Amino acid sequence: MIRRLLIGVSTGIAILAFTAAPAAAQVKGDVSIGYSFLRFVDEENVPVGWNVSAAGRLNDFVSGIADFGGHYYFSDGLEWTAHTFQGGVRVGARRTSAVIPFAQVTFGGALAAEDNDAEFAWVFQPGAGVDIPIRPGGPALRVQVDFPIYFRGGDGVNGFRFTAGISIPIK
């Protein structure tokens, strides 16, 4: 079932990108950077992290996005790190409103290492957030929540990611 969902999302992203291609010549977008908190459901909190994303507008409401993150956990001599790299689609309101809500879905990979033993997992990550402009047409405060699902082998591990930072529009 999850495989069908991932194939459906991938197909939808490809169709959306293809149909929006004529608008790509007028691409505007944004770059954001912020603090990121990660929690694995029924497991540990990972309070030290960062997130960087870039979005290129395909039309007034749809953007293609690239999302990168890093999370770090240190406790009792244990050192655990994870880095994610994903791409996907964001759907949002125009940048003219006071609060700009958006929803997004990304798919990619995660590379986790525990005491120098690395492991790869696929990541499917739906999420949503808001940009709150500091001034019209300028930078915005971004608050975002995501619900990553990590797949390695036959297992799926659910998570929760909170990100807060700044989004800078690219004109």
Please, what's the b/e burial string for 130-160 (b: 16 or more CB within 10 A of its CB; e: otherwise)?
ebebeeeeeebebebebebbbbeeeeebebe
- The more confidently predicted of residues 3 and 74 is 74
pLDDT for residue 127 is more than 50:
yes
Beta bridge partners of 55: 30, 65
**Mean pLDDT to the nearest integer, 82-89:** 97
140 token code pair: 């915005």
Range of the domain at 73: 2-170
pTM assigned to the model: 0.79
The tally of domains found in the chain comes to 1
Q: What is the pLDDT of residue 154?
A: 75
Other C-beta atoms closer than 10 Å to the C-beta of 90 total 25
**Mean pLDDT to the nearest integer, 135-154:** 90
Position of tokens 């790190």? Answer: 81
**Mean pLDDT to the nearest integer, 48-52:** 97
CATH assignment of the domain containing 89: 2.40.160.20
- Residue % of the chain over a pLDDT of 90: 58
Tens digits of per-residue pLDDT, 89-107? 999 886 666 898 999 999 9
Residues 6 or more apart whose CB falls under 8 angstroms from that of 25 comprise none
Position of tokens 């797949």? Answer: 151
Q: What is the pLDDT of residue 97?
A: 66
